[in-house]
Copies of this chain bind each other. A is one copy, B any other.
Amino acid sequence: MQSSKLCHLCAGATIAASARLGDHVVVYPGATVADDCLVAGFTQLWPGVRLERGACLGPGVTIQPPDEADASTVSFGPNCRIGANATILRGVRVGEGAVVEPGSVVAQSVPPHAIVSGAPARITGYVDSRSAQQVLAWRGQAEVQETGAVVRLDVGDVTLHRLSLVHDPRGDLVFGEFARDIPFAVKRYFMVFNVPSEKVRGEHAHRVCHQFLICAKGGCAVVVDDGATRCEVFLDSPDLGLYLPPMTWGTQYKCSGDTLLCVFTSHYYDPADYIRDYAEFLALVHKSPNNAA
């Protein structure tokens, strides 16, 4: 462990040898700092606070201490980065690889790989997601802009579809045929609306159910993740469809105020089909045969 001057490291704290602590850091009993962590300075790590491998806290990060009314503490997932002078409220977990921008006030847990900013902090993007490039390149290819075009996004078997759009003075029309345009027979639809723009939806994968997403009004970003790669797609036209096969982790955010998201599914509703914990999802993906390579 490397520490600078004017730190106060209490007995009962666990600090890995490879961790680096800057000036004026306080580590209370019961706090844990794992390998390769960095605490830049002027931070108190309260009892119960946990920095997992590679977590980085910029200078002046302030963590709300637990109190009698609420004993929940704070944890920082592997390789997350917390910006200078950020404030982290009690009960928050910052997910693996997530980024908190400097000066943010984080009141809700941050999903893995998400980038958050502001006070209160909102998700503004995902780390290493290839969204803009991927989709723009896709739109730039003349052959896939045509009706009926289907493009693989290199995230498992996720595909983006250009469906039929007919302009008509009496009203425009989009349509699709199941088991033809859409790669499964459909047993259920649902529609999501009145989504506050700062909210995140989805954040789960299905074990066997296929989904097909259409943003019929407004716009919405969908992050798809097969456990190895991520891609962000902005659905902003009613003739764009996004196919999520089973075992795809999906997240929606950046909804415009009037978003209407229309989803078709291959199965009736079954709560047992949902995987809501990202770590469980990663574990399942990595032992499944079609991820063997």
Contact = CB atoms under 8 A, between A and B. Distances in A.
A194 interface: yes
Nearest to A187: B178
Contacts of A201: 170-171
B102 A87 contact: yes
Contacts of A255: 171
Contacts of A62: 42, 58-60, 84-85, 102
Contact of A193 (B40, B169, B238): B238
Contacts of A83: 64, 87
A189 B172 contact: no
Given A59-B64, A177-B269, 8 more contacts: A58-B62, A59-B65, A63-B84, A102-B107, A170-B199, A171-B193, A171-B196, A171-B261
A171 B187 contact: no
A103 interface: yes
What 10 A-B pairs are tightest by C-beta distance, nearest first?
Answer: A103-B105, A171-B195, A175-B190, A60-B62, A62-B85, A85-B87, A87-B103, A172-B194, A170-B199, A64-B84
Contact of A24 (B6, B87, B193, B268): B6
Nearest to A255: B171
Nearest to A121: B103
A8 B60 CA distance: 16
A179 interface: yes
A22 interface: yes
Give the interface residue-count category, chain A: 35 or more
A31 to B, nearest CB: 13
Interface of A: 4-6, 8, 22-24, 26, 40-42, 44, 58-60, 62-65, 83-85, 87, 89, 102-103, 105, 107, 118-119, 169-180, 186-196, 199-201, 214, 216-217, 238, 255, 258-262, 264, 268-269
A270 to B, nearest CB: 11
Given A84-B64, A118-B119, A175-B191, A170 B59 contact: no
A217 B193 contact: yes
Given A8-B5, A8-B6, A84-B87, A216 B191 contact: yes
Contacts of A171: 192-196, 199, 201, 255, 259, 261
B268 A102 contact: no
Given A172-B192, A264-B189, A24 B26 contact: yes
Contacts of A175: 188-191, 269
A176 to B, nearest CB: 6
Contact of A26 (B23, B63, B195): B23
